[in-house]
Amino acid sequence: MVYRAIGIMSGSSLDGLDLAFVELQETAGKWSYALKASSCYPYEDEWAEKLRKAPSLNALDYQLLHTAYGHYTGEQVNRFINEHNLQYQAQLIASHGHTSFHIPGKKMTAQLGDGAAIAAVTGINVVSDLRAMDIALGGQGAPIVPIGEKLLLGGYAYFLNIGGIANLSFNDPDQYIAYDVCPANRVLNMLARDAGKPFDEGGQIAEKGAVSGSLLEMLNELAYYHLPHPKSLSNDFGTGVVYSLIRQERLSAPDALSSYVEHIAFQVARSAAALQDEFGEDAAQENRKMLITGGGALNHFLVKRIGERLKPLNIDVVVPDNELIVFKEAIIMALIGVLRWREEDNTLASVTGASRNSIGGAVWIGQES
């Protein structure tokens, strides 16, 4: 069976809206995909600021933004379809939305971007609210991409996605484990803005800095890092707690960025080592590789430091082509939407800690009957 879907992802780093038109094929329970078209539409300053400030809005203004952002997303889908000549080809849209609140301890998560508005603007069926069912079942609601790693990307023991938050997946033969490791690009970008740059391209600023041992020790002792999995992070852990601690040290921009790069690398290696201790060094495939995707995979200095930290664990770092780096999550959103349409599990309880696997997502019929 072949499905053609558009996956949409807006990450917490606020760099833009990622769209991927994907052809997904299921044959005897095996899935494959082909990325037919992709685009990233950077947020204008006005939209980035609206999304950044969303958690501080009152209830009415928040709901108005939810609706407006849904219409905006639908307009970007129409733009994407026109630019790539995809008229009448997409059967389904799967939109992650933009996370504004994530409080799994109180069984609550919220992503901006009204699915009904997207369906109304595009005239295409939409799946949205992808995390809500898992949260209701007591899960963390995150990470949700492991189902796509499991079904679409084989041959790796570990998957590391470095977006606004870095999350790690472990492909154990008996179960799939994944969780949020630490804040990543969102904090790095905030530190780069302190230096007058929108982001630290390739890690060039960080590479010139020196690591602050005291800051690194302080960050590594934060309580979250000592919690067992499953676990997930909200954006404000990075933008509030972590960023504030860094600023208190009054470091130069290169030293602050270098120190935070080292923190990310340390936490990734610590997480991988903990998984090896838990499941045994030989639990994963013999050829232990870690596929790194997300915007952070383009930070060459960060990838280098992660690779060096992983060498004692005999884990090799693999950075794929740029399309998979940037659009992996949008590709997997398309798959999650298709699985929802087929009424098949698209969230893994072994990852999130929910009471069971679940079929997540609200369906909005945009096509006329």
- Per residue in 109-132, pLDDT (tens digit) is 999 999 999 999 999 999 999 999
Q: Are 142 and 167 part of one and the same domain?
A: no
- The mean-pLDDT minimum among 65-79, 126-140, 276-290 falls in 276-290
Domain assignment present for 323:
no
Domain assignment present for 210:
yes
DSSP state of 113: S
Among candidates 116, 140, 138, which has minimal Cα distance to 129? 116
Among candidates 335, 96, 286, which has minimal Cα distance to 173? 286
* 292 has pLDDT over 90: yes
* Res 283: pLDDT: 56
Neighbours of 125 (CB within 10 A): 21
CATH number of 202's domain: 3.30.420.40
Average pLDDT over residues 290-300: 95
Neighbours of 350 (CB within 10 A): 16
Average pLDDT over residues 250-268: 98
* Res 11: pLDDT: 80
**pLDDT tens digits, one per residue of 298-319:** 999 999 999 999 999 999 999 9
Q: Are 137 and 228 part of one and the same domain?
A: no
* Res 285: pLDDT: 52
The whole-chain average pLDDT of the chain stands at 95
Confidence of residue 62 (pLDDT cuts 50, 70, 90): very high
Q: Are 38 and 167 part of one and the same domain?
A: no
Q: Which residue has the higher pLDDT, 39 or 369?
A: 39
Q: Token digits for 18?
A: 């990622």
Count helices and strands in the chain by DSSP H and E runs: 14, 13
3-class DSSP assignment, residue 176: strand
Domain assignment present for 138:
yes
Pairing relation of β-strands 2-10 and 16-27?
A: antiparallel
Q: Are 78 and 221 part of one and the same domain?
A: no
Average pLDDT over residues 252-261: 98
Domain assignment present for 88:
yes
**pLDDT tens digits, one per residue of 19-61:** 999 999 999 999 999 999 999 999 999 999 999 999 999 999 9
* Res 281: pLDDT: 65
Q: Are 352 and 142 in contact (CB under 8 A)?
A: yes
Domain assignment present for 152:
no
Domain assignment present for 294:
yes
Helices (H), the chain: 45-53, 59-83, 115-122, 132-136, 146-152, 185-194, 204-207, 213-220, 235-236, 243-248, 253-279, 300-310, 322-341, 349-352
Q: Are 266 and 350 part of one and the same domain?
A: no
Average pLDDT over residues 168-176: 86
Q: Are 170 and 300 part of one and the same domain?
A: yes
Q: Are 52 and 81 part of one and the same domain?
A: yes
3-class DSSP assignment, residue 99: strand
* Res 282: pLDDT: 61
* Res 171: pLDDT: 86
**Residue 139 domain boundaries:** 2-146+330-364
**pLDDT tens digits, one per residue of 318-360:** 999 999 999 999 999 999 999 999 999 999 999 999 999 999 9
Give CA–CA dist 22/329, Å, rounded.
12
Confidence of residue 155 (pLDDT cuts 50, 70, 90): confident
Domain assignment present for 98:
yes
Q: Are 242 and 337 part of one and the same domain?
A: no
Q: Classify residue 307 as left (phi > 0), alpha (psi -120 to 50) or beta.
A: alpha
Counting residues of the chain whose pLDDT is more than 70, the rounded percentage is 98
360 phi and psi angles, rounded to 5 deg: -100, 145
**Residues β-bridged to residue 16:** 42
* 189 has pLDDT over 70: yes
Q: Are 100 and 123 part of one and the same domain?
A: yes
Q: Are 162 and 310 part of one and the same domain?
A: yes
* 230 has pLDDT over 60: yes
Residue-wise burial string across 236-264, b where 16 or more C-beta atoms lie within 10 A, e elsewhere: ebbbeebbeebeeeebebbbbbbbbbbbb
Among candidates 222, 247, 232, which has minimal Cα distance to 164? 232
Which are the contacts of 350, defined by CB distance < 8 A and separation ≥ 6?
175, 176, 177
Q: Are 301 and 178 part of one and the same domain?
A: yes
Confidence of residue 141 (pLDDT cuts 50, 70, 90): very high
* Res 235: pLDDT: 84
How many domains does the structure of the chain reveal? Answer: 2
Q: Are 309 and 350 part of one and the same domain?
A: no
* Res 234: pLDDT: 86
Domain assignment present for 322:
no
* Res 284: pLDDT: 53
